[in-house]
Amino acid sequence: MLMSVKSELADQQQEQQREKEGIYESIRSLSRELALCELVLNSYIPKEYQTMIERFTHWNEDIGEWQLKCVAYTGNNMRKNMPEPRNSNKEINSFLLK
């Protein structure tokens, strides 16, 4: 019985060691990937733009995406809603096409 318990303990220790090695390899891989991302980011995006991006974005945990702050005040969201043209223009166009 003692030998079987020792054998089981040795098996568990080996399994834990393999798991630790896998975790360490994942950490090394992620560290390399992060270093590459930082290199690309710093090479192509000026620091002032990086700061601006950091200032105007936030991570939304609910949907798992980065979002722009104050996006409601940008682009087409600020365009004045134009009223639909009256039917008279359509009537004229259909008349001219006949």
Average pLDDT of every residue of the chain:
85
pLDDT at residue 82, as a whole number:
61
Domain locations in the chain?
Answer: 1-81
Q: Is the pLDDT at 55 greater than 90, yes or no?
A: yes
What are the residue ranges of helices labelled H in the chain? 2-44, 47-55, 87-97
pTM of the full predicted structure?
Answer: 0.55
pLDDT at residue 70, as a whole number:
76
